Amino acid sequence: MVESGASPLPPTPPAHSPLLRAEHFVWLTARVLEQRLFAHHFLHGAADPVETALDAYRNEDGGYGHALEPDLRGPVSQPLHTARALHVLDSLGRCGGQRVERVCRYLTSVSTADGALTAVHPSQRGYPAAPFIPIVDDPPSELLATGPVVGLLHRNEVWHAWLFRATDFCWQAVDALETSRPYEIQAAVAFLDSASDRPRAEAAADRLGRLVREQRLAVLDPDRRDAYPVAPGYAPGEHHFPYDYAKTPGSLARAWFTDSEMAGALDFLAAEQQQDGGWPIRWRRWAPGTELESRPAVSIEALSTLRSYGRVIG
């Protein structure tokens, strides 16, 4: 018998262990990629199998497609798929080398005149996509797509000509944020957390933190979620919490929230684990398959966040 390194799958998720319940959920529902990711992050699994699973989504142009990001279907490369691939490689400590050089060439080929990325390239047309992700012939530059990618590449000390223009775009977009949506703030934080100009990043983060609190863009009392607004176009109940902005204690966004506010949010996150062992998605559900594919990744992120803050999850 070949040993997989995984614990035996119980017939039902044990009530006493969040991690075992999550493991049951992953083996029951997840794609191979998320199964390998879970095994790597929580069961001492190797990194190579994760890379092998990720390669199935890679295209000849250096980008990634094939519904790696479940809300965009079809085979074509897209910036959002490619950002997800980089996130996986970063989590493995393997965001570098020729693979990332090819990714940067792809990003250069689909970037706008100012060096930014669009959320969806027009090549998506003709393939299924979430109705809240518009497909247009001349899509705008978006911090939402560009910020996390640029921040991640800077954190891994990747150098590429495209990054200079993309970094300038991110600074301009962050400085221009006034009334924003939570996902844009998250993208800004992903950029600022790894920007090389630390004094400028800290000043920008401080301003955004005041904006988040003034506009009530983070639920600070989980027992009174209805008292916090949901951004126009978002799904009912699509709230954001302190841990959505400060994904780790080292994030600049951690200073936006008191210890009590963060503890309450983390208590809420831990309690959000469902009976089946997984965590729910909060954005709009538009197809049964996409929700099924999204929940394992959301669950791995929830466990990772709880662990980064020292919460016992075993």
pLDDT single digits (tens) 76-121: 999 999 999 999 999 999 999 999 999 999 999 999 999 999 999 9
Rounded Cα gap, residues 106 and 285, in angstroms: 30
Q: Looking at residues 195-218, what average pLDDT do you find?
A: 97
So what's the pLDDT on residue 17?
87
Within 13 Å and on the Cβ side, how many CA atoms surround 157?
1
- Chain centroid to Cα 185, Å, comes to 13
So what's the pLDDT on residue 11?
54
> Six-digit token pair at 78?
């897209």
Rounded Cα gap, residues 148 and 194, in angstroms: 10
DSSP-based three-state secondary structure for 72: strand
Rounded Cα gap, residues 79 and 279, in angstroms: 26
CB atoms within 10 A of CB 246: 25
Measured in degrees and rounded to the nearest 5, phi and psi for residue 304 equal: -65, -40
Q: Looking at residues 8-28, what average pLDDT do you find?
A: 78
Q: Could you please report the per-residue DSSP string of 47-68? A: SHHHHHHHHTTB-TTS-B-TTS
Residue 180, pLDDT above cutoff 90:
no
So what's the pLDDT on residue 1?
42
43-52, 86-95, 175-184, 185-194: least confident range: 175-184
So what's the pLDDT on residue 101?
94
Q: Looking at residues 268-291, what average pLDDT do you find?
A: 95
So what's the pLDDT on residue 14?
53
